[in-house]
């Protein structure tokens, strides 16, 4: 029985870049360790979630961990809240939220309160409070965006939005769509009532008005979602599990799955992260665990920014760090893949498959000795991400036998 | 319309063996016929049951025959009984059983009655009897192991074990877990009561006691399972079907599926089987049938024993016999694959995919001209075993059109 190391290079997949002579960032990268690891096992393509799905990092990581996203994914609310670093517990209700400008007559005049440029952190703190045993926690996002999490007993996400979705109207009264949501709608309406005077009189908004900006006098809520209860990953696979990840969205998912979040020096979740430290931390974590998931966010950031040279460079930095894995192939089955493609040419996630390598001592090898999107097409594997864990359980000789 | 010949080389898949210069048994075998057949059609990888599943021979053969194991597989009881050569009919209840030593006070002191070394066949015959219209059939397995099959009307597997699973306790009274199982529990408790004096006074046990061994004074039952009712394979595919197999587990599955079991000279289900006779029998059986399944058990035995040279040799013997198939490619679509991998390096089933070739005249060819685990990765096919029959029905021009 071997240990399992899964390295997800976020947004790894790419398309040809004119800036790189028509090559993908991965093809253009100097990557001796990735190529060597490719030669030590099986290669191929992985389809995040399934063929042709343009997945997010949340749905993709859920499926890489073996969850059927079509049954467990409860919408963006809870995952965006996690992405902002909020602790979301099973049963919590989470919303996507906008700070908006509502005038004296209660009419929404600007759904983005003039696209706020300064952080709304102090405003969010001021309207994080408790009513009738329900905690309301608000966390600032980019510009006018925020997330609201409701934590308490007996909450339901079967409620309507307060966001009227158009200007010139008042915020909607939140209504229950099912009897079990009556309490949730009631306490949420109380909450929205209670925070209006707080927002109106807050120094932050006075300052905005004085400087000629629209004040953030209303919090518009949409997309209520209940944080899913995930079956325990360690129980399901019989693995003592940890993760080394720099971004809150993925550590949030791991927490929901019962996977330890391992801290490491220099974690940033940016292109300046400590690549060597991350892989060293993962290998250390594996000393006392059976499974470790690593997420390297940098390629996705470079892809979203449309910077092929940067994407190439962060892959090169990662490759240097992967050299640390090679001496451990007698004891570890390593999988290196992406959670989705983020081609620099479109600056967004695409549904393209991602390269996958699975390497360890004693495995069959499929003769592929380069790790990139095109070489992977000559490999032996074609996997949906939801099947990856089963394949790794088998490759590490940990599967239960099914049958006699 | 062609006929279909499916040859399952049991436990075929392998991993690199140091004894064979880092090659798999298949790579190391002289296999001109397999290589020629590979060149005459399509090649690739088959995933027994599905990707990453470490399947047994039972679940895998069920899926090769087109059954969804996740809905028809009812646990090991009925299949282990079949594996011991017992006839198990749909609706029968089968158990895994242990001969145990129960003392005068009715306490289980040894769950294995000292790991019996001589056959318990006569003991099993003595306690095979009928009560209230229910036949109880017991068959000896290895050492203290046995199987019990209940045959009669109105039986249910919704009952508890009699096995207390620990020493120092009395056997449990069998209880019904649902009202429809009341009769089953009642008649089973009567049976266990009735066989106790038979076991206690049997000459076999007197001899054991005299020679200082623990007598087998109790039959502990666990894992009740109802033999599944399989849809008729001949009806489902419109094929007159037969099988040439040497091992009871697979012939039992074929019987449940309504597939004729064809006898042949020299059948042993061991490494000494009559390879030429087996393939000759299959070709003869195809003269009056549309479909024949062949199982060659030998590679699995060599894999479990961790003997790569033996595994190579039995593949070579099989290859010689496969020469008989080549003149019939105008009339037959042949598929050659494994039911799972049994790598010599781990002496157990693994979840690795197995090579698959499908050959016949008039087919497209994918240019692969070697038959082994690594060459297969360059082939065109990636199939779950449950899809194999559909692909063969299509390749033999027998499929119903789906649509207009």
Residue A387 has pLDDT above 90, yes or no: yes
Residues of chain A contacting B55 with CB distance shorter than 8 Å: 401-403
Residues of chain A contacting B80 with CB distance shorter than 8 Å: 404
pLDDT classification of A403: cutoffs 50, 70, 90: confident
Q: Which of A6-15, A263-272, B192-201 has the lowest mean pLDDT?
A: A263-272
Taking only the tens place, the pLDDT of each residue in A136-184 is 999 998 889 999 999 999 999 999 999 999 999 999 999 999 999 999 9
* CA atoms of A242 and A291, how far apart (whole Å): 6
Contact B351/A390, CB-based, under 8 Å? yes
Q: Which residues pair with A356 in a beta bridge?
A: A44
Residues of chain A contacting B348 with CB distance shorter than 8 Å: 397, 401
| % of residues, chain A, pLDDT over 70 | 99
**Numbers of helices and strands, H then E, in chain B:** 14, 15
- Give the orientation angle of helix B248-256 with respect to helix B57-64, to 10 degrees: 40
* CA atoms of B14 and B342, how far apart (whole Å): 6
Residues of chain B contacting A393 with CB distance shorter than 8 Å: 52, 351
Element (H, E) at A194: helix A182-201
Residues of chain A whose beta carbon is less than 8 angstroms from a beta carbon of chain B are 42, 362-367, 378-380, 382-383, 387, 389-395, 397, 399-404
Inter-residue long-range contacts of A321-324, CB under 8 Å, 24+ positions, other chains counted: A321/A275, A321/A276, A321/A278, A321/A279, A321/A280, A322/A7, A322/A33, A322/A34, A322/A37, A322/A279, A323/A33, A324/A276, A324/A279, A324/A280, A324/A283
Give the count of beta carbons closer than 10 Å to the beta carbon of residue B268. 13
Residues of chain B contacting A42 with CB distance shorter than 8 Å: 377
| Contact status, residue B339 vs residue B55, Cβ threshold 8 Å | yes
ipTM of the complex: 0.80
Residues of chain B contacting A380 with CB distance shorter than 8 Å: 45, 376-377
Exposure on the CB side of residue A122, measured as CA atoms within 13 A: 6
- Give the orientation angle of helix A57-64 with respect to helix A76-83, to 10 degrees: 100
Give the chain B residue nearest A378 (alpha carbons).
Answer: B378
Residue A269 has pLDDT above 70, yes or no: no
Residue B270 has pLDDT above 80, yes or no: no
Give the chain B residue nearest A367 (alpha carbons).
Answer: B374
| Contact status, residue B339 vs residue B8, Cβ threshold 8 Å | yes
For residue B267, the model assigns a pLDDT of 65
Contact A403/B56, CB-based, under 8 Å? yes
Running DSSP on this structure, what letter comes out for residue B139?
E
Give the chain A residue nearest B54 (alpha carbons).
Answer: A401
Taking only the tens place, the pLDDT of each residue in A236-258 is 999 999 999 988 889 889 988 99
To the nearest whole Å, the CA of A383 is away from the closest chain B CA by 8
pTM, full prediction? 0.85
| Contact status, residue A363 vs residue B15, Cβ threshold 8 Å | yes
Contact B58/A403, CB-based, under 8 Å? yes
B134: buried, middle or exposed (CB in 10 Å: 19+, 13-18, 0-12)?
buried
Cβ-proximal residues to A111 (8 Å cutoff; 6+ apart), any chain? A98, A100, A163, A167, A220
Give the chain A residue nearest B75 (alpha carbons).
Answer: A403
B19: buried, middle or exposed (CB in 10 Å: 19+, 13-18, 0-12)?
middle
Residues of chain A contacting B145 with CB distance shorter than 8 Å: none
To the nearest whole Å, the CA of A398 is away from the closest chain B CA by 9
Running DSSP on this structure, what letter comes out for residue B172?
P
Residue B167 has pLDDT above 80, yes or no: yes
Q: Which residue has the tokens 């949030």?
A: A252
Option in B24, B54, B57 nearest A400 (CB): B54
The widest CA-to-CA distance across chain A, in whole angstroms, is 77
Note the helical H segments in B86-153.
Answer: 121-126
Option in A42, A394, A403 nearest B59 (CB): A403
Residue B258 has pLDDT above 90, yes or no: yes
Sign of the torsion formed by the C-alpha atoms of B45, B47, B51 and B55: negative
Give the chain A residue nearest B23 (alpha carbons).
Answer: A364
Residue B268 has pLDDT above 70, yes or no: no
Taking only the tens place, the pLDDT of each residue in A18-72 is 999 999 999 999 999 999 999 999 999 999 999 999 999 999 999 999 999 999 9
Closest residue by Cα to residue A237 from A70, A48, A389: A389
What's chain B's Rg over C-alpha atoms?
23
* CA atoms of A10 and A245, how far apart (whole Å): 11
For residue A266, the model assigns a pLDDT of 67
| % of residues, chain B, pLDDT over 90 | 85
Contact A402/B52, CB-based, under 8 Å? no
Q: Which residue has the tokens 């038959």?
A: B371
Locate B138 and state its tokens: 């017991």
> Average of pLDDT values for B71-90?
86
Option in A42, A389, A402 nearest B56 (CB): A402
Contact A387/B79, CB-based, under 8 Å? no
The widest CA-to-CA distance across chain B, in whole angstroms, is 77
To the nearest whole Å, the CA of B202 is away from the closest chain A CA by 32
Contact A362/B15, CB-based, under 8 Å? yes
Q: Which residues pair with A110 in a beta bridge?
A: A101
Q: Which residues pair with A279 in a beta bridge?
A: none
* CA atoms of B264 and B44, how far apart (whole Å): 31
pLDDT classification of A267: cutoffs 50, 70, 90: low
Contact A403/B60, CB-based, under 8 Å? yes
Taking only the tens place, the pLDDT of each residue in B210-236 is 999 999 999 999 989 998 889 999 999
Residues of chain B contacting A366 with CB distance shorter than 8 Å: 374, 377-378
Q: Please, what are the domains in chain A?
A: 3-73+229-395 (3.40.720.10), 79-226 (no CATH)
> Average of pLDDT values for A378-398?
95
CB pairs under 8 A between A and B: 88
Option in A378, A382, A393 nearest B52 (CB): A393
Closest residue by Cα to residue B292 from B2, B1, B4, B62: B4
Contact B52/A379, CB-based, under 8 Å? no
For residue A249, the model assigns a pLDDT of 87
pLDDT classification of B117: cutoffs 50, 70, 90: confident
> Average of pLDDT values for A90-102?
94
Pairing of strands B260-261, B218-226: unpaired
Strands (E) across B127-252 are located at 129-131, 134-140, 145-151, 218-226, 241-245
Taking only the tens place, the pLDDT of each residue in A309-353 is 999 999 999 999 999 999 999 999 999 999 999 999 999 999 999
Option in B24, B49, B348 nearest A402 (CB): B49
To the nearest whole Å, the CA of A14 is away from the closest chain B CA by 24
* CA atoms of A94 and A157, how far apart (whole Å): 8
Cβ-proximal residues to A334 (8 Å cutoff; 6+ apart), any chain? A5, A6, A7, A37, A325, A357, A358, A359, A360
Contact A390/B352, CB-based, under 8 Å? no
* CA atoms of A204 and A126, how far apart (whole Å): 10
For residue A84, the model assigns a pLDDT of 87
Residue A370 has pLDDT above 80, yes or no: yes
Contact B45/A397, CB-based, under 8 Å? no
First to last CA, chain B: 20
- CA–chain centroid gap for A303, Å, is 16
């Amino acid at each position: 029985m071997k240990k399992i190391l899964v390295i997800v290079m976020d947004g790894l997949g790419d398309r040809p870049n004119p800036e790189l002579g028509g090559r993908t960032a991965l093809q253009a990268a100097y990557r001796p360790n990735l190529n060597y690891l490719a030669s030590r096992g099986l290669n191929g393509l992985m389809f995040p979630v399934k063929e042709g799905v343009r997945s997010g990092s949340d749905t993709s990581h859920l499926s890489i961990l073996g969850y059927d996203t079509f049954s467990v994914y409860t919408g963006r609310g809870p995952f965006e809240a996690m992405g902002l670093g909020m602790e979301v517990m099973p049963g919590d209700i989470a919303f996507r939220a906008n700070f908006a400008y509502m005038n004296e007559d209660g009419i929404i005049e600007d759904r983005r309160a003039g696209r706020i440029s300064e952080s709304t952190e102090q405003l969010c703190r001021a309207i994080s409070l408790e009513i009738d045993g329900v905690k309301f926690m608000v966390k600032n996002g980019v510009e006018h965006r925020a997330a609201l999490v409701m934590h308490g007993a007996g909450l339901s996400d079967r409620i309507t939005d307060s966001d009227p979705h158009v200007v010139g109207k008042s915020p909607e009264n939140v209504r229950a769509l099912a009897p079990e949501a009556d309490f949730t709608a009631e306490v949420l309406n109380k909450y929205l009532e209670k925070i209006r005077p707080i927002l109106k009189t807050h120094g932050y908004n006075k300052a905005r008005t004085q400087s000629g900006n629209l004040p953030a006098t209303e919090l518009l809520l949409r997309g209520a979602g209940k944080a899913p209860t995930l079956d325990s990953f360690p129980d399901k696979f019989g693995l003592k599990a940890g993760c080394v990840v720099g971004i809150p969205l993925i550590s949030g998912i791991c927490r929901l799955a019962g996977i330890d979040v391992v801290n490491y020096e220099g974690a940033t979740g940016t292109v300046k992260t400590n690549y060597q430290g991350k892989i060293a931390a993962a290998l250390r974590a594996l000393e006392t665990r059976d499974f470790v998931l690593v997420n390297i966010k940098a390629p996705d950031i470079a892809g979203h920014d449309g910077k092929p040279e940067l994407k190439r460079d962060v892959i090169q930095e990662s490759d240097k760090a992967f050299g640390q894995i090679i001496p451990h192939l007698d004891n570890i089955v390593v999988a290196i893949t992406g959670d989705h493609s983020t081609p620099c040419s479109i600056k967004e996630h695409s549904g393209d498959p991602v390269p996958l390598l699975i390497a360890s001592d004693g495995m069959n090898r499929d003769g592929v000795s380069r790790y990139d999107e095109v070489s992977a097409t000559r490999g032996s594997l074609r996997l949906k991400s939801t099947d990856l864990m089963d394949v790794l359980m088998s490759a590490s000789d940990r599967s239960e036998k099914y049958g006699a």
